[in-house]
Every structure is written in C-alpha cells, then in structure tokens.
Structure 1
Amino acid sequence: MFSKACEYGIRASIFIALNSFEGKRVTPKEIALEIDSPAAFTAKILQALVKKNIVNSVKGAYGGFEIPKSKIKDIKLSAIVDAIDGDSIYKGCGLGLKACDENRPCPMHDKFKIVRDELRIMLESTNLESLAKDIKEGDTFLRR
C-alpha cells in the first residue's frame, strides 16, 4: 500500500521520536541500521522529512536527527505519508488503472474507496507519540 520509501520514512520517524523522548539525536547510519534500509536511500528519505519540518537535522559533532518533544504528539502519520508519497495513496485505483474514477469505476472501485477512506482516517488520527510509546512499553516493535 505504501511505497518502500514511505515505509522507511514512517519507521525512521518513529525511531527518531523514540530517541527524542530520551533527549537523544540519532545519526543517519543509526537510523538506516535500525530500520533496515540502505544508508543512501535513508539519507534521501530523511531529507524529505526535514524539508517538510517533520524532523530536525542538527549539524556538528553532536548532531543528528531529532524531533522536539513538544512536537511529537502533533505529528500525524498522514504528514509523513504526504512528505514521502504525496496524496496518491488516497486517489489510486485498486487495480492500478489510470482512468478509474467515480464516473468510470473499475470493478473494485466502490470497495477500494472504503478502504482508502478508512486509511485516511487512521493516518490522520495516529500520531508519532502513540507509536513511540507502544514501542517503549514493549507492546510493539520496529525491528525483527
């Protein structure tokens, strides 16, 4: 459903949030290792997240990526998806057809529209704070 870049972007954001709660910045190398992503690909994803003000990049010997603690609860998954994939996830055809819409629907259009609408609700109502806390409490995990 999400592009690979978007999956990595979500994982990276959660990992950065988790460390930011503890007052730590994380390096691109640490992030790539934790989310099991190629380093160069991770760097491009992090650039997109910085550009959209989802994460902060701090240069220097003690630099790295962070999210201000006060901002973590306000960052919704929808913002991360938008930063990486745009809004195409809410518009695409379930069968991959280019001309599928309300006026000329594919056989799955109406059912897939329900799924897309539910996905939007989930992404707009889920924040980084809740995901990071679930990991911290051991209820969920980021790495296999």
Structure 2
Amino acid sequence: MEARSSTYHDRKGLIEGEISRGRDSAMKLQNLLLSPNGGDQWEAQAVMLIEDVLRSFAKTLSVLKSNGASDVSNLSSSSTVNNGNKRKRGANDSITWSVNLVLPLDDRQSWNKYGQKNINGATTNVPMKKPAPPRNKCNN
C-alpha cells in the first residue's frame, strides 16, 4: 500500500513539475512574441520554446495515461516530440459531409422503370421515347 502511495505522489509531483515547466515556456514564448525587437535569434528561440511547451505537455499526457512508474522513467526530457508531419498507420483524417434535403413526397409525376411516366389524366402509360420500329421477321 505504501509503494502505491509513493508512486501516486511521484507521478503527481512529475505531472505538476511538467505542467509548470510548460507554463513557464509558454509565458516566455508569449513575451518573445509580444516584444517589439525580434533580433537575429528570434525565430530559433520561438521554435525552441514551442518544442519545450509541446514536449512538456506530451510528457504530462503520457504520464497521465500510463499505469505505473516504470513508464515514467522511460521518458526523458530530451525526447523529441512528433511534429505532426508523420501519420500513424490506419489514421483516418477524412471529413464527411451530409446534406439533409426535404423533398415533397408526391410531385404528381410518377416515374416508372425504363423511362415511362404516368401523365395526369391519361389512362395508359406514355413512353418517354419514340418506340423503335418493329423488326421485319423473315421466315426464309
């Protein structure tokens, strides 16, 4: 029971430390972005701070998802963060659209198979195309 409690406190301390480190990096990034002079190293510093923020939060999420302290010890602060350019196998990012149409149920035109329709007031179906002339049957 005591080992379980110490693991919980270790994880809690690691999570709090990573979140505060990420917050500090985010604040430094905000100050850098709001400063009027960027300087020569501005872009490199911004990229470094963004990577620190992402690394910190990714590590925090992995600790939250893990079940034991052994997974926590495998994570190092120098590990690289997936930049999102690589897709995981089987990942599906497709967007589906659906359109809801409300159509009248009866448009007073009844369409049949093979292009015939009922004409209002007519007693028989009228073909849409002129029928082909009958074939001559020669019984030679």
Could you tell me the TM-score, scaled by structure 1's length?
Answer: 0.29
Q: Over alpha carbons, which structure has the higher Rg?
A: 2
Answer 1 or 2: which has greater helix percent: 1
Could you tell me the TM-score, scaled by structure 2's length?
Answer: 0.29
- RCO (CA 8 Å, sep 6+): is it higher in 1 or 2? 1
